[in-house]
């Protein structure tokens, strides 16, 4: 069984209650859920919530919900809590609740390496950066990977350093620089191993949970995608999401 889990924590520090924020007449978490359901490979999608108001809203639009303790801090820990209810789930997809326009195709792209290669235990997505704004932004996480598409490092700084470039625009033109899209696919036992690990030095320095995996020897398969996402972390992000919905989503309906 391939199980999609959307951790939906209500008390977000940067935008409180953002998962219930209205985008085009629907709460953000409904967009994420409905788009995740378009995956061809997921057998089930579950919302992992920590608030009764969110649970009621989610059940109202037909989502399957599992209540999780409020003191669980990370999405990975919340996903691991949920799989106790699904012993048959062999592959777990951790889908960010604040990415309302995630595509089912992207989820399938991330899952595929685990279906075709038994040596792959964790996978995630990356997209080539094509704007200076993304290159410079510390909220856009960059990733470098080897010739077999396994992650070498993640950073909030622009990596790799393009020595011959004189401007940021030249950096993008001269090198393939990728941003990380925070969707993770785990084999069940690797998710359970991961949550037992203590935070590591690089993780605490960069504030990036995935570095805990690399520091402990996990190999993370990187799947490059042509699709982009729009994460909602701030009021400005929410406004961008609303404009994107009006401009692109409504036109298709």
pLDDT tens-digit profile of 77-109? 999 999 999 999 999 999 999 999 999 999 999
Is 59 in the same domain as 164? no
- If you search the block for the tokens 């070498």, which residue do you land on? 152
251 pLDDT band (50/70/90 cuts)?
low
For residue 14, what is the domain's CATH number?
3.90.550.10
248 pLDDT band (50/70/90 cuts)?
confident
- Mean pLDDT for 13-37 is 89
Is 124 in the same domain as 219? yes
* Domain tally, the chain: 2
The least confident of 18-22, 182-186, 198-202, 223-227 is: 18-22
Is 60 in the same domain as 170? no
Is 56 in the same domain as 150? no
- Say if 240 falls within a structural domain: no
pLDDT tens, position by position, 37-60: 999 999 999 999 998 999 999 999
Pick from 100, 115, 146: which residue ends a domain?
100
Please give the residue range of the domain that contains residue 168: 103-186+196-228
- What pLDDT is recorded for position 252? 66
Is 107 in the same domain as 217? yes
Is residue 253 predicted with pLDDT exceeding 80?
no
pLDDT tens, position by position, 206-231: 999 999 999 999 999 999 999 999 98
- Say if 13 falls within a structural domain: yes
pLDDT tens, position by position, 120-177: 999 999 999 999 999 999 989 999 999 999 999 999 999 999 999 999 999 999 999 9
| Six-digit token string for 185 | 């696919």
- Say if 246 falls within a structural domain: no
* Three-class HEC string of the chain: CEEEEEEECCCCCCCCCHHHCEECCEEHHHHHHHHHCCCCCCCEEEEEECCHHHHHHHHHCCCEEEECCCCCCCHHHHHHHHHHHCCCCCEEEECCCCCCCCCHHHHHHHHHHHHHCCCCCEEEEEEECCCHHHHHCCCCCEEEECCCCEEEEEECCCCCCCCCCCCHHHHHHHCCCEEEEEEEEEEHHHHHHHHCCCCCHHHHHHCCCHHHHHHCCCCEEEEECCCCCCCCCCHHHHHHHHHHHHHHHHHHC
Is 220 in the same domain as 159? yes
Contact assessment for residue 54 and residue 12, using Cβ atoms and an 8 Å cutoff: no
CA-CA distance, 130 to 17, in Å (whole number)? 31
- Mean pLDDT for 3-7 is 96
- What pLDDT is recorded for position 233? 84
- What pLDDT is recorded for position 29? 95
- Say if 250 falls within a structural domain: no
- What pLDDT is recorded for position 202? 97
- Say if 2 falls within a structural domain: yes
Pick from 100, 129, 153: which residue ends a domain?
100
Is 37 in the same domain as 127? no
Is 107 in the same domain as 210? yes
Is 115 in the same domain as 46? no
- Say if 241 falls within a structural domain: no
- Say if 114 falls within a structural domain: yes
Percent of the chain predicted with pLDDT > 90:
85
> CA 60 → CA 56, 68, 107, 128, distances in Å?
6, 18, 24, 37
- What pLDDT is recorded for position 186? 98
Pick from 49, 83, 100: which residue ends a domain?
100
Is 113 in the same domain as 218? yes
CA-CA distance, 173 to 175, in Å (whole number)? 6
Is 110 in the same domain as 221? yes
Closest CA to 211 of 180, 243, 174, 252: 180
Is 74 in the same domain as 93? yes
Closest CA to 104 of 54, 47, 31: 31
- Say if 128 falls within a structural domain: yes
């Amino acid at each position: 069984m391939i199980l999609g889990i959307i951790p939906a924590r209500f008390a977000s520090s940067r935008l409180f209650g953002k998962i219930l924020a209205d985008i085009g007449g629907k709460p953000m978490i409904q967009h994420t859920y409905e788009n995740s359901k378009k995956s061809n490979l997921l057998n089930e999608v579950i919302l992992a919530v920590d608030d009764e108001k969110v649970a009621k809203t989610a059940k109202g639009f037909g989502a399957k919900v599992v209540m999780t303790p409020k003191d669980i801090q990370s999405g990975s820990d919340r996903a691991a809590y949920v799989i106790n209810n699904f012993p048959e789930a062999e592959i777990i997809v951790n889908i960010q609740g604040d990415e309302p326009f995630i595509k089912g195709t992207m989820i399938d792209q991330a899952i595929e390496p685990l279906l075709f290669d038994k040596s792959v235990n964790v996978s995630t997505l990356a997209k080539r950066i094509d704007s200076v704004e993304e290159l410079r932004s510390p909220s856009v996480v960059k990733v470098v990977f080897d010739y077999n598409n396994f992650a070498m490092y993640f950073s909030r700084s622009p990596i790799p350093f393009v020595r011959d470039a004189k401007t940021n625009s030249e950096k993008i033109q001269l090198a393939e620089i990728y941003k990380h899209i925070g969707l993770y696919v785990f084999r069940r036992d690797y998710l359970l191993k991961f949550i037992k690990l203590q935070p590591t030095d690089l993780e605490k320095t960069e504030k990036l949970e995935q570095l805990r995996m690399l520091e402990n020897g996990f190999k993370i398969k990187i799947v490059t995608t042509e699709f982009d996402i729009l994460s909602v972390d701030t009021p400005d992000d929410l406004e961008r999401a609303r404009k994107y919905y009006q401009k692109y989503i409504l036109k298709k309906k």
